[in-house]
Structure 1
Amino acid sequence: MKNLKIKIVLLLVSFSVLSCIQAQKKSIVSVESLLNEMTSREQITRFPKQAFLTKHVSSYDRSSTSPSEKNWFHNWDMNQWEGVEDTKNGKEYVLMNEKSPGAITHFWMTGSGENRGQGTLRIYIDGNEKPVISQTIRSFIGENKEVGYPMSCSVSPETIADERGHNLYLPIPYAKSCKITYQSDLVKDGNPWETRSEILYYNIDYREYAEGTRIESFNKNSITQNKSIIQATNQMLLDGRFSQEKKLNELDNFQIKLAPGEELLVSKKDVGAAIQQLNMRIQEDNPTQSLRSIIIKCTFDDQQTVWAPLGDFFGAGYRIDAFETRYNKVSVDGNLKSKWLMPFKKSCKITLENIGETTIGVNGSLKYSSYKWNKNAMHFYTSWHQYTKVNTGVPKNMLGGEGVRDVNFVTLKGKGVYVGDVLTLFNDNLPIGKTSWTKEEGTFNYCWWGEGDEKIYIDGEQFPSHFGTGTEDYYNYAWCKAEKFSHPFIAQPSGGGNMTPGYTVNTRVRALDVLPFNTSLKFDMELWHWNKASINYAPTTFYYMMPGGESNIKPDYKGAKEEVLLDFEKLHTVDPKDQ
């Protein structure tokens, strides 16, 4: 009996030690832990237990110093460095030099000029003199065969490689510090357009963890050592799957017709759970105005947190163009799917409202799953509004101009995590002095609508910790290219309004680069380009917040009732015989 008691005690001690080891392993930030987080559907709905800030460094114009100064809209956002170092390798341009525990979560770059993207990228971890990465920047970021697609991607595949945005989503954690440099003999001092220098644009998102956070630093063997989980993550992203999926325990189907001005309940639940998937379809062959006229409203625990036109909510804008990201999918047959997990503690109510002038049929389904509400759980929010026929100003070279402005995507008060956005717009841009346009005239130079940079302020910052290099760069493509692309984290279902008058939709959903905030978040985007124009510009924003969070964006019925624009010929084209 005595021996039996000893064995039981030893067994209990062994279990205790094993549990401690497993708990410690879970608390260590590593390539593996971050990849597991990337594929978790549930983790994004809970405020991070392991505190971190998401920060950003880019090649933005360093002469932009204050919103109160004229320099705020300077746009020389290429070949701008954190520093320059003379090393045994030669001159190395410093892209990032962070001296606290953290992890790179997303790296974007593009280039111009000779040898673009063929210079050497070096990543130095924890103060070591030898880099863990030393290879051409494009081969590591967007064309990394060892990492594989889609975590390394170069979009759009229909665009020539030199004119694509190149992305890397592989996490690179570090315990103490991280320095990233670029070396190319073709980079020259002075105005790069005048010196015919190689040009580099870059944006890097990274996490800053609290001192004392246990981190397993990236090393030169990390990709090989994590090969299996990298491959599994890529496959899960491509398949649209999440780890640890909950079984569905309830399915609500509906098929309704909404008369003008009518609002109908499509689903209601009075016990805690989570919406796991939303599927809807407007009963029209080619819906356009109806995608704006049907408003989806979601109320969780007696607080309405979602108000948006149906098309924008699903990332479709107001036309059916097939694409698929991690959280939204639009099929060629008009089926709309949302996979944002939407938890609630006690109750939820989903309604659709028709603010249009005709009766509209909608059918769909809601899939529910179990969800354990706790102190870190958050509600899902969606805000939408439109800047209608807003003037984009008259820029002067790269130094701003008259009427250039920052427009607000959203401003939030409370505690939460910003997770993505969709931008739907119609570009009414014509060359200065012209009042009409015909297809026969072709593409005009500088008809791009999106030169402006994102500026994101977190927890009351006076200067934005996120300052980008252009709207298309924020959406992770480049050079205002119009080709369509679809990827788990980014998409351009339509780019027809990029270089000619027309319609464009851009989407970005965040992975490890989500933006936690403790008190507030403000997201502004510069709106300007080379020619004076008016534009319909509608941002949809997605975020999670603790109960009681507030958004400055209120239901925009006026904007949603505006006629949707698709036919630039109707707006601007004149018959040549009438000219």
Structure 2
Amino acid sequence: MASKTPPPRGLANLERFDLLPALRDGVQVRYEGSIDKQGFNADWDWWLYREGREWVIFDVDGPGCIYNFVQHRYPESEEPTFRFYFDGEETPRFEIKPSEFGTKPPFVRPLADAYLGPEDNGRGPIRVVRSFVPMPYAKSCRITTDLRLKGPNKGDGGWGHVVCHSYADADGIETFTGREPYGRVLERWSRVGEDPKPAPAKPYEAAVLRGLTIAPGESVLALDERGAGCVAAILAEPEPESEPSAGGEGWLGQLWVRAAWDGHEKPDVECPAGVFFANELGYNPVGVLSHGRRADGSCYNYFPMPYWRGARIELINRGTEPVRFARWETRYSKADPDSPPYAEGQAGYFRSSAYYGPKATPGADSLIGRIEGRGHLVAGHVTAWARKPNVISCEGDVRVRIDGNATPQVESDGSESWVCYGWGFPTPPETNPSSAYDGLPDNPWSMVRLCGGDWYPFERELVFGIESGEYNNQYLRHSGVLFYYGVDGPGMVLTDELDVGNKASEGAHVYRTAGSRGYYTLESEYEDGTGRVLRDTGHETEGSSEFVVSVDPRNRGVRLRRRSDQATGRQRANVYVDGVRVKERSWYYADRNPYKRWLEDEFDIPAAYTAGKTDLAIRLEYVQEGETRAWNEFYYWVFSLV
């Protein structure tokens, strides 16, 4: 796993839980869903455009892989048929109805499932289908439905989302057929609470503490290792009298886990045991593949945690009562110097964001975590408290912004949709291998999402926020933590900027166009929920635009980011680098927003076109698609992946 073999993609990415620490090049996370374009809570009308008798709900160009599909609707609604088109095919390669999720191969339990929400005082019931079945594609993917998914009323059709990875190139990608061997994943997903990693070649070593009592203010060393290795599991068996009381009290809230790898002064992991074991509130035992609490009260965390010079794990009692365990066990392996399980520099450290303690941010998103460096998010944990019982407090969107992009790369239509249940939190506990929630009906609630296949890569930073209520119109206290694999230092650097409409900048970059429709000025907002209004001048063309940009010759690819006007959707352009067309994909964005019109979208140029160069001549050739009549551009940022 530490060799120079390219990390797996598609199904193989989900099969190899042990490869979760591997740092990946040329991968971005993408989201498409039914988000209220005006920023409120009208999260329906899930469609991009109509084509013939079908409504298109997902449309991307270039290689990638779908990892999460969710759709929710009232049972009274007419049942749609979802059709999946791959690699430009005119005939759908796969079809499925909501009633078939969980039973139609390969969309079978527990990789795919259905959930029926409660009556909930007349709001329900609601039917939710979700899938974590990997669906890779070498060239493109389009999902359609034979019904328009619209409206908030019973009988209207429904809403939902798709989460996917976008790849810079198609290396190792075999397009989905539906006949892939899913047996290994299905078998492991059926054994939540057991280690999902492949059995080691030789038994793990173990540091075991028995009959452990940790007094208030006391710190106990659970592991102190020198040399290279990997923590494979952390297991806890509390004494019966130490069972957590409901609401986050007891040892799940008092005990903190602190881990530092390779002598780092700043802890890599530091958080309450409740979030470390996916049970911050502790009302009910819930768990996902990676971490959780079993029905007997024992807890597990199976994330692989590699280190190269040493590992130190401490247990700290920050409460006022003693914490007692019958057994606390840390399983680990020592690295073979000739074939270490993870090569330093090719894998990230297992880390947590700083614990976001319970607090409210009235009128603004709660920023659960801000991560810096390079890596990928693999799990998120969020808990919320409203001021009174039975308040529907989970409608707030999760918004994830990556690498300074003003447009969220992931934005759910409510926190309950991010965790793939899709109709509030009135029936805790609920759990599946990739997501779960606990609490009391609607308030308080606590959710955990494992991103085992659809992890969120970042090259500079990741900011994870969540609204309080429908549009930050409620008073909620949030807490939470993010788990990720990462290294210090950025994986990309800003090497150039082109300000279209600024004559000096245009001149410095030899900017010129053909088929110009002229310049215009726009004043609008992004979809980031901040309400920030930006005024900028840009240009649109129905022909082409060209410019020269500077890059780092050591680059492992180049990322172009564009500020554009998304009043109309389906903007498309072919991209040429030094006269050579990038064959992997066109620059294409299918969605639109006529209200919050600013968009920042990105295009990855593989290293084959850029390596060793200091300057690139970029040519963007507009391709008419659907309602669009021009390619517009206001600003370009040029990042070298290094």
TM-score (norm 1): 0.74
Query: 2:92 is paired with a residue of what secondary structure?
Result: coil
Shift of 1:272: 0.8
Give the alignment of 1:210-225 within 5 angstroms: 210-218=168-176, 222-223=177-178, 225=179
Is 1:421 aligned to 2:361, yes or no? no
Residue equivalent to 1:369? 333
Shift of 1:214: 4.7
Q: In 2 relative to 1, CA 140–512 (structure 1 residues): closer, same or farther, beyond 3 Å?
A: farther
Give the alignment of 1:36-51 within 5 angstroms: 36-48=12-24, 51=26
Is 1:510 aligned to 2:451, yes or no? yes
Is 1:455 aligned to 2:403, yes or no? no
Q: In 2 relative to 1, CA 174–522 (structure 1 residues): closer, same or farther, beyond 3 Å?
A: same
The residue identity in structure 2 corresponding to 1:291 is L
Give distance in 2, aligned partners of 1:295 and 1:503: 22
Give distance in 2, aligned partners of 1:119 and 1:268: 56
Is 1:546 aligned to 2:487, yes or no? yes
Query: 1:429 is paired with a residue of what secondary structure?
Result: coil
Q: In 2 relative to 1, CA 279–549 (structure 1 residues): closer, same or farther, beyond 3 Å?
A: farther
Shift of 1:370: 3.8
Give the alignment of 1:373-522 within 5 angstroms: 373-374=342-343, 375-388=345-358, 390=360, 403-429=362-388, 447-483=391-427, 484-492=429-437, 494-498=438-442, 502-522=443-463
Residue equivalent to 1:66? none
Q: In 2 relative to 1, CA 531–497 (structure 1 residues): closer, same or farther, beyond 3 Å?
A: farther
Is 1:93 aligned to 2:63, yes or no? no
Give distance in 1, aligned partners of 2:167 and 2:80: 30
Residue equivalent to 1:74? 40
- Contact 1:279–1:336, Cα closer than 8 Å, also in 2: yes
Residue equivalent to 2:111? 151
Give distance in 2, aligned partners of 1:232 and 1:164: 29
Is 1:236 aligned to 2:184, yes or no? no
Query: 1:45 is paired with a residue of what secondary structure?
Result: coil
Residue equivalent to 1:305? 268
- Contact 2:262–2:308, Cα closer than 8 Å, also in 1: yes
Shift of 1:521: 1.1
Shift of 1:115: 2.2
Q: What are the Cα deviations for residues 60-114 of structure 1, in whole angstroms up to 9, with x where unaligned?
A: 1223xxxxxxxxx3221111422222x1xx2x22211101111111111111373
Q: Which has the higher helix share?
A: 1
Residue equivalent to 1:555? none
Give distance in 2, aligned partners of 1:76 and 1:171: 29
Give distance in 1, aligned partners of 2:6 and 2:322: 54
Give the alignment of 1:185-224 within 5 angstroms: 192-193=151-152, 198-218=156-176, 222-223=177-178
- Contact 1:28–1:216, Cα closer than 8 Å, also in 2: no
- Contact 2:68–2:162, Cα closer than 8 Å, also in 1: yes
Shift of 1:427: 3.2
Is 1:346 aligned to 2:309, yes or no? yes
Residue equivalent to 2:236? 280
Shift of 1:141: 4.5
Residue equivalent to 2:86? 125
Shift of 1:35: 2.5
- Contact 1:280–1:337, Cα closer than 8 Å, also in 2: yes
Give distance in 2, aligned partners of 1:452 and 1:485: 19
Give distance in 2, aligned partners of 1:286 and 1:124: 51
Shift of 1:232: 3.0
Give distance in 2, aligned partners of 1:80 and 1:184: 10
Residue equivalent to 2:49? 83
Give distance in 1, aligned partners of 2:130 and 2:106: 14
Residue equivalent to 1:109? 71
Q: Which has the higher strand share?
A: 2
Is 1:358 aligned to 2:321, yes or no? yes
Give distance in 2, aligned partners of 1:539 and 1:145: 36
Query: 1:412 is paired with a residue of what secondary structure?
Result: strand
Give the alignment of 1:245-284 within 5 angstroms: 245-246=199-200, 247-255=202-210, 256-283=212-239, 284=241
Give distance in 1, aligned partners of 2:303 and 2:281: 20
Uncovered stretches (5+) of structure 2, i.e. residues with no partner? 492-642
The residue identity in structure 1 corresponding to 2:198 is Q
Residue equivalent to 1:561? none
Shift of 1:157: 8.7
- Mean Cα deviation higher: 381-390 or 352-361: 381-390
Shift of 1:424: 2.7
- Contact 2:101–2:108, Cα closer than 8 Å, also in 1: no
**% identity of equivalent residues:** 22
Give the alignment of 1:528-543 within 5 angstroms: 528-529=469-470, 534-543=475-484
- Contact 2:75–2:125, Cα closer than 8 Å, also in 1: no
- Contact 1:389–1:534, Cα closer than 8 Å, also in 2: no
Give distance in 2, aligned partners of 1:193 and 1:238: 35
Give distance in 1, aligned partners of 2:293 and 2:286: 5
- Contact 2:85–2:142, Cα closer than 8 Å, also in 1: yes
Give distance in 2, aligned partners of 1:530 and 1:412: 24
Q: In 2 relative to 1, CA 58–354 (structure 1 residues): closer, same or farther, beyond 3 Å?
A: same
Q: In 2 relative to 1, CA 547–245 (structure 1 residues): closer, same or farther, beyond 3 Å?
A: farther
The residue identity in structure 2 corresponding to 1:477 is Y
Give distance in 1, aligned partners of 2:118 and 2:157: 22
Residue equivalent to 1:69? none
Larger RCO, structures 1/2 (Cα 8 Å, 6+ apart):
1
CA RMSD for the aligned pairs? 2.9
Uncovered stretches (5+) of structure 1, i.e. residues with no partner? 1-22, 64-72, 392-402, 431-442, 551-579
- Contact 1:113–1:198, Cα closer than 8 Å, also in 2: no
Shift of 1:234: 0.5
Q: In 2 relative to 1, CA 199–244 (structure 1 residues): closer, same or farther, beyond 3 Å?
A: same
Give distance in 1, aligned partners of 2:76 and 2:299: 43
Q: What are the Cα deviations for residues 328-358 of structure 1, in whole angstroms up to 9, with x where unaligned?
A: 1312332111111111011011111111122
Q: In 2 relative to 1, CA 383–366 (structure 1 residues): closer, same or farther, beyond 3 Å?
A: same
Give distance in 2, aligned partners of 1:529 and 1:482: 17
Is 1:179 aligned to 2:142, yes or no? yes
- Contact 1:295–1:354, Cα closer than 8 Å, also in 2: yes
Residue equivalent to 2:529? none
TM-score (norm 2): 0.67
The residue identity in structure 1 corresponding to 2:273 is L
Q: In 2 relative to 1, CA 295–105 (structure 1 residues): closer, same or farther, beyond 3 Å?
A: same
Aligned length: 467
- Contact 2:430–2:436, Cα closer than 8 Å, also in 1: yes
Query: 1:234 is paired with a residue of what secondary structure?
Result: helix
Shift of 1:193: 4.3
Q: What are the Cα deviations for residues 359-392 of structure 1, in whole angstroms up to 9, with x where unaligned?
A: 222340100124523121111012353453526x
Q: What are the Cα deviations for residues 273-321 of structure 1, in whole angstroms up to 9, with x where unaligned?
A: 1110101234334323332111110010122111111122101114262
Residue equivalent to 2:631? none
Q: What are the Cα deviations for residues 18-66 of structure 1, in whole angstroms up to 9, with x where unaligned?
A: xxxxx99x8697xxx63232121321111025x3211111111223xxx
Shift of 1:497: 4.0
